[in-house]
């Protein structure tokens, strides 16, 4: 089946790259977002998020007239829903954006259309939540229009490559919906396209991110054990990973982002009696900022009150601008509860910006100037390439806590710093 017009709902980290990739393949794309600022900036060819290569891609799509941005959907051959699925305070999935997006399509749904949900969703969403909403149009899913779930699986920082190269799963509400979905993504996907049913596709996505979460949790738990037993977790992991069937991930200040720290909860919510391991892994990773604070406390001889700390790196992972669910922000908040004054730095902040109650500056010098301790929380390239020789002239701090193992300890030590790392069981004299 051929799709000439594609309507993409949600122009965030997934919707915008997807919309502009289709547009650059010559498809007419209507990008829809409920945020007028997003729509307005896109109309001028400007991009509101940072992702390598995305700015140029969007500019060329808008310039060619193939991508237009607007606040409401309109008639199209295919609709792709790529809106956020955050969680409520009680960790249950908030499907409000998916529901609103689906409802906004109803007046424009016609016979023969294809609707794809890409947003990460609890199992059975496509069948039990999405289909009934779309059927308010009077059309029947699988009979009058095609309906499928196709999860995005791209890695922030490599979205444009992975969108095209990764294998794509398409789970249809029936076989034909999956096949028609393949025709759509064939426009740009060069990876394998695997067809299955909608609920399997939903589970595949959740299983992938949950597996990664559990694997990071074991690395984090090892970091605490290493601390207890006075060994270096980084060295131990490196040695263990020489085993042909072992591949331990890296510990750190915790797991953030909008995917891995959220998605496992969708399974816990739907089947609390079957998800002990998944829930515990989530709690281990969520507890890691507290571990970082406990280490900082040990460094400061159990008294954090009145101390000045520079927290370096605030995004949820290196070289992205995304601060959603960032464990680094959590570390700052917990340190503040202990009575410290924290200056937070991130190269992706605009001047000084407030993220979930934390003031984040992009001026490294002013953040480090009066600090007693530097805590490295995110391995941004700019932080990795800092030279101890230069830093020592920019800060009063002599103590450094590296939670991500990015510093050359010898280099920093020889420049007068006392360097401590998460997961190495340090003692402070």
Residues annotated as catalytic (active site), given as ranges: 205, 259
Distances (CA, A) of 79 to 32, 302, 357: 10, 56, 36
Instruction: In whole angstroms, give the CA distance from residue 41 to residue 47.
Output: 7
405 forms part of the interface with ligand SAJ (CB under 6 A): no
Locate 26 and state its tokens: 């010559």
Residue number with CB closer to ligand SAJ (15 or 31):
15
Locate 250 and state its tokens: 């890296």
Q: Which one of the spans 37-45, 93-101, 147-155, 295-303 is the region binding ligand SAJ (CB under 6 A)? A: 147-155
* Interface residue with ligand SAJ, options 33, 77, 152, 197 (CB under 6 A): 152
256 forms part of the interface with ligand SAJ (CB under 6 A): yes
* Interface residue with ligand SAJ, options 71, 140, 155, 240 (CB under 6 A): 155
Instruction: In whole angstroms, give the CA distance from residue 57 to residue 33.
Output: 18
* Interface residue with ligand SAJ, options 144, 174, 179, 208 (CB under 6 A): 208
Q: Give the distance, in angstroms, between the CA of residue 119 and the centroid of all CA atoms in the same chain.
A: 13
Locate 102 and state its tokens: 């689906």
* Burial class of residue 239 (count of CB atoms within 10 Å of its CB; 0-12, 13-18, 19+): exposed
Helix (H, G, I), strand (E, B) or coil at 365: helix
Locate 148 and state its tokens: 């499928």
Write the Ramachandran bin of 245: left for phi over 0, alpha for psi from -120 to 50, otherwise beta.
alpha
206 forms part of the interface with ligand SAJ (CB under 6 A): no
Residue of this chain nearest to ligand SAJ (CB atom): 259
406 forms part of the interface with ligand SAJ (CB under 6 A): no
- Count of residues interacting with ligand SAJ (CB under 6 A): 20
- DSSP string covering 19-67: HHHHHHTT-EEEEE-S-HHHHHHHHTT--SS--TTHHHHHHHHHHTTSE
168 forms part of the interface with ligand SAJ (CB under 6 A): no
In the chain, % helix, strand, coil (3-state, to 5) comes to 40, 15, 45
| Contact code string over 222-251 relative to ligand SAJ, x by CB under 6 A | ---------------------------xx-
Please name the residues in contact with 49: beta carbons below 8 A apart, sequence gap of 6 or more.
Answer: 12, 13, 16, 321, 322
Q: Which one of the spans 81-89, 229-237, 252-260, 416-424 is the region binding ligand SAJ (CB under 6 A)? A: 252-260
Residue number with CB closer to ligand SAJ (77 or 213):
213
257 forms part of the interface with ligand SAJ (CB under 6 A): yes
Question: In this structure, are residues 18 and 59 in contact, taking their beta carbons and an 8 Å threshold?
Answer: no
307 forms part of the interface with ligand SAJ (CB under 6 A): no
* Interface residue with ligand SAJ, options 78, 260, 342, 391 (CB under 6 A): 260
Q: Which one of the spans 108-116, 154-162, 181-189, 340-348 is the region binding ligand SAJ (CB under 6 A)? A: 154-162
Query: CB of 205: closest distance to ligand SAJ in angstroms?
Result: 7
316 forms part of the interface with ligand SAJ (CB under 6 A): yes
Locate 113 and state its tokens: 């259309």
Question: In this structure, are residues 142 and 167 in contact, taking their beta carbons and an 8 Å threshold?
Answer: no
* Interface residue with ligand SAJ, options 28, 40, 91, 212 (CB under 6 A): 212
334 forms part of the interface with ligand SAJ (CB under 6 A): no
Residues 94-123 that bind ligand SAJ (CB under 6 A): 120
Residues interacting with ligand SAJ, by CB under 6 A?
120, 152-156, 208-209, 212, 216, 249-250, 252, 255-257, 259-260, 316-317
């Amino acid at each position: 089946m051929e799709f000439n017009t594609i309507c993409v709902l949600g122009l965030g980290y997934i919707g915008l790259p997807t919309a502009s990739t289709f547009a650059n393949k010559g498809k007419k794309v209507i990008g829809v977002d409920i945020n007028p600022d997003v729509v307005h900036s896109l109309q001028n060819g400007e991009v509101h998020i940072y992702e390598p290569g995305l700015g140029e891609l969007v500019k060329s799509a808008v310039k060619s007239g193939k991508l237009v941005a607007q606040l409401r959907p309109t008639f199209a051959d295919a609709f792709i829903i790529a809106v956020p699925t955050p969680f409520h305070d009680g960790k249950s999935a908030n499907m409000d954006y998916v529901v609103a997006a689906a409802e906004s399509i109803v007046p424009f749904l016609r016979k023969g259309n294809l609707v794809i949900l890409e947003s990460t969703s609890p199992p059975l969403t496509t069948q039990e939540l999405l289909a009934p909403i779309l059927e308010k149009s009077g059309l029947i899913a699988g009979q009058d229009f095609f309906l499928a779930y196709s999860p995005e699986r791209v890695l922030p920082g490599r979205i444009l490559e992975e969108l095209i190269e990764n294998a794509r799963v398409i789970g249809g509400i029936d076989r034909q919906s999956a096949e028609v979905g393949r025709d759509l993504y064939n426009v740009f996907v060069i990876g394998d396209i695997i067809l299955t049913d909608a609920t399997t596709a939903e589970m595949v996505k959740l299983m992938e991110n949950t597996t990664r979460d559990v694997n990071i949790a074991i690395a984090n738990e090892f970091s605490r054990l290493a601390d207890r037993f006075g060994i270096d977790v980084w060295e131990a992991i490196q040695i263990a990973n020489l085993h042909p069937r072992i591949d331990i991930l890296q510990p750190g200040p915790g797991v953030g982002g909008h995917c891995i720290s959220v998605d496992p909860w969708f399974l816990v919510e739907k089947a609390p009696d079957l998800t002990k391991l998944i829930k515990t892994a989530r709690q281990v990773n969520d507890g890691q900022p507290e571990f970082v604070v406990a280490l900082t406390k040990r460094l400061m001889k159990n008294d954090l009150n009145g101390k000045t700390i520079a927290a370096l790196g605030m995004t949820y992972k290196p070289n992205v601008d995304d601060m959603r669910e960032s464990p680094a922000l959590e570390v700052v908040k917990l340190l503040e509860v202990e009575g410290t004054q924290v200056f937070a730095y991130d190269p992706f902040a605009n001047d000084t910006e407030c993220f979930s109650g934390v003031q984040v500056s992009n001026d490294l010098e002013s953040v480090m100037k009066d600090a007693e301790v530097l805590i490295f929380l995110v391995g941004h390239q700019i932080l990795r390439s800092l030279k101890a020789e230069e830093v020592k002239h920019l800060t009063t701090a002599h103590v450094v806590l590296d939670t991500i193992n990015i510093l050359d300890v010898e280099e920093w030590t020889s420049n007068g710093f006392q360097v401590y790392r998460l997961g190495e069981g340090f003692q402070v004299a």
